[in-house]
Structure 1
Amino acid sequence: MIVLGRIVTPHGVRGGVKIHPFGDDPLSWGKMIYWWLGRNPESTDEADWKAYRLLSLREQGSSLVASFDGVPDRSAAEQLDGLFIAAPREDLPRPGFDEYYWGDLIGLTVLNTAGVNLGVVSKLLETGAHDVLVMEYGEAEAKGERLIPFVAAFIKDVNLKTREILVEWEADW
């Protein structure tokens, strides 16, 4: 499952929910008939996700408002508050050139331009300015975490085939 966003609050009295998307083109998700909702964004077990048929989707500022079959009113929408939204990879719209789903980046090895292994992407963070790669490196007591802004100034190449990300970043930064 690829996590797409999170329900942040009920919206209105007819069962709508407000969604914080984790992507740049969330209206394209409206082409998917079903969205999967669940509590654990890291779960790969489909039993942890429940499919909901999407009835409507629209933008509202930087958020989305969606409604689902079987969620007729605000009380039902309140039960969805805080759930994550996901979809199987094969159901998602294809990303454009130089675009990636966050889930595609998890587990990739990050190398700097000198060939030094900086770690493996464990997750991404969304900040107000830009997304940030979170990498884990080392073993035992020497384990650590690195944060690298996911912006063109530092990210030189993402190669999904070799499962590597090339960055302009020093190991001691």
Structure 2
Amino acid sequence: MSGPDRDSMICVGAIAGAFGVRGEVRVKSFCSEPEDIAGYAPLSTEDGAHSYTLKITRAVKGGLACWLGGVKTREQAEALRGVRLFAPRDRLPALPDDEFYHADLIGLDVLDTGGARLGRLHAIHDHGAGDFLEITGPGLKTPLLIPFTLEAVPTVDLAARRIIVDPPVEVLGEGRGGEEDDTE
């Protein structure tokens, strides 16, 4: 196996592009405390082909300005735009029972509170107002986006590899294909 074991690595950030002209990069940290990302370095690329030390220089709009080991020029920094940074799971803290690493949730079956399968968790998005679960499946013409709140997601059962959701009615109505109410 050429890269790291995918289950043993957690994505902790991504490079958003160059910052300045001397090789600094802008890093978007996925850690609950953004500065914690530095404590998990060295960080690897997804395929494990590259590893970087990381030194935060300051907080900037949209992330952190950082020096990455081996990156000396703006061109090198810009070439890393979009690269996701991974840390070994054993370097990360254990989480309380009501918190989860996104990597542990992706791919889990998603069921409604009645036990009907809605699909699988495809992605988790955070656009600034909290996390949203993106659910895809064969019965959905468009992905469902469900807020990752206790009200909408009452159960995450990692042992059973499933998530139970109780989304607002309008969310289910938008994503289902071919199910329209013809009553007046």
Q: Scaled by the length of structure 2, what TM-score is found?
A: 0.74
Please, which of 31, 37, 47 is the counterpart of residue 29 of structure 1?
Answer: 37
* Higher RCO (CA < 8 A, seq sep 6+): 1
Correspondence for 2:10: 2
Correspondence for 1:121: 121
> Per-residue deviation at 1:80?
1.6
Provide runs of 4+ in structure 1 moved above 4 Å.
none
2: distance between equivalents of 1:102 and 1:120? 14
Instruction: Give the number of the structure whose residues are more often strand, by fraction.
Output: 1
> Per-residue deviation at 1:17?
0.8
Corresponding letter in the other structure for 2:81: D
CA contact (8 A) 2:109 2:120 kept: yes
CA contact (8 A) 2:109 2:163 kept: yes
Structure 2 unaligned runs (5+)? 1-8, 174-184
Correspondence for 1:71: 71
> Per-residue deviation at 1:24?
2.5
Correspondence for 2:130: 130
> Per-residue deviation at 1:25?
2.4
CA contact (8 A) 1:7 1:84 kept: yes
Cα RMSD between the aligned structures? 2.5
Correspondence for 2:163: 165
> Per-residue deviation at 1:57?
5.7
Please, which of 145, 148, 162 is the counterpart of residue 147 of structure 1?
Answer: 145
2: distance between equivalents of 1:67 and 1:9? 12
Paired positions, count: 162
- Please give the per-residue CA displacement for 1:119-165, whole angstroms capped at 9, x wherever unaligned: 11111222232221111223xxx454322111222011212222121
Q: Scaled by the length of structure 1, what TM-score is found?
A: 0.78
Percent sequence identity over aligned pairs: 33
Give the secondary structure class of the aligned counterpart of 1:128: coil
2: distance between equivalents of 1:96 and 1:27? 20
> Per-residue deviation at 1:20?
2.2
